[in-house]
Amino acid sequence: MEAAGASEEPGDPSPTDFVYGEEDFILPGSGWEGEPGSAPSRFDRALLESWDDRMERGLFRYRLGPLPTRVLPGPLRLVAQLNVQRGTERRPPQPVCSLHQPFDPAAFNFTRLRPGELLLRLRRAASRGDRRCPAETVPLLVAINASPLERGHVLLLPEPSRGLPQTLTAPALLGGLEVALLSAHPGFRLGFNGLGGCASVNHLHLHGLYVSRPLPVEAAPAQAVCPRHRLWLLLRGVPAPAFLFYAAGTADLEAVARDVCRAAEHITDSGLAYNVFITRGEPPEGAGAGAGRGLRVLLWARRPSFGTKASEDFNVALCELAGHLPLPAAPLYRNITEEEALRAIHGHLLPEPDLLRLGEDLARLLAD
């Protein structure tokens, strides 16, 4: 996934400063559109209004209208979505040849964005009861993804001028967790594709997008791996088995960000790639466990894929692993079954015994 080119046009708008504090966090979210309490937040309005403005100005690679969407028959209720233009008009992904590939300033990167492609400049301000100094939060720029999956699809760029490679850091993930809580929309999700895990630009960034349907990863129950460090394992009822970290409230965000990144580093050191997905969801024990909804952070370990990504019909990145299937061709969209989708997804993952052994390693790592 990527953003647009570098040349500046006269009259391009500049990003809007968006200052937030802990009082802006909306932990439970609101209802789906049309349900009681489904009003957008201040952040949702700012992001979507500026995103729509850039679409009207022609700063995207294509004009995005309503996308055909259907739920595949089957117990997982995977969400398929047809997006032909993304399949034909997106920028070719950069080749990746290593899990530790350094940032290359000569390749496309996000310092080349035009000012008009930047929507918001997020800055945390101190507020009453805030436990952290605002200086501890990494500044985030929010930019359009010029080949969007959906309305509101954006990139979160932590200090792009530093030229950091696409390796997740705890400060960047913490910023993403806070952004997740700024939205009131239950379908606003964030995620990260690592090197060897379908990252298309080797420059540190996360994705944010609005998905119009519930996904199975929000509510599937998990089994404990290291509960003291908020780590569980999702094995059943999801498209792809994943390690689950859970933040029940804002007090958990820093620890979750730190532990996810420690686990991701271990996965990379083991010769595996990874993807991350952030969504509001039920406690690990599942719906009805007696607590309200918090933030679920899913971490997938996968076989790495190196070289330029082939132009295959079915790409497997953070969205697909979570059960949201953007598809580039109408026949595939009409005909794909849950069984076929799961076969494609599982082809990138570890066998269950290997995944369980990795879970034991992560439990020991986090317990130290």
Residues marked as catalytic: 205
**Quick one: tokens of 255?**
């620890």
Q: What is the dihedral of CA 319, 324, 328, 333, to 10 degrees?
A: 160
Q: How far apart are CA 206 and CA 189, in angstroms?
A: 10
Q: What is the dihedral of CA 309, 312, 313, 316, to 10 degrees?
A: -40
Distances (CA, A) of 182 to 44, 212, 246, 276: 8, 18, 17, 19
Q: If you search the block for the tokens 């009131």, which residue do you land on?
A: 184
**Quick one: tokens of 119?**
């929507």
Amino acid (1-letter code) at residue 365: L
Number of neighbouring beta carbons within 10 Å of residue 228: 9
**Taking Cα atoms as reference points, which of 60, 64, 70 lies closest to residue 325?**
70
Q: If you search the block for the tokens 């049309």, which residue do you land on?
A: 34
At residue 155, φ and ψ (nearest 5 deg) are -115, 135
**Quick one: tokens of 289?**
């466990």
The answer to whether 231 and 225 have CB atoms below 8 angstroms apart is yes
**Quick one: tokens of 172?**
């960047």
The tally of CA atoms less than 13 A away on the side-chain side of residue 116 is: 20
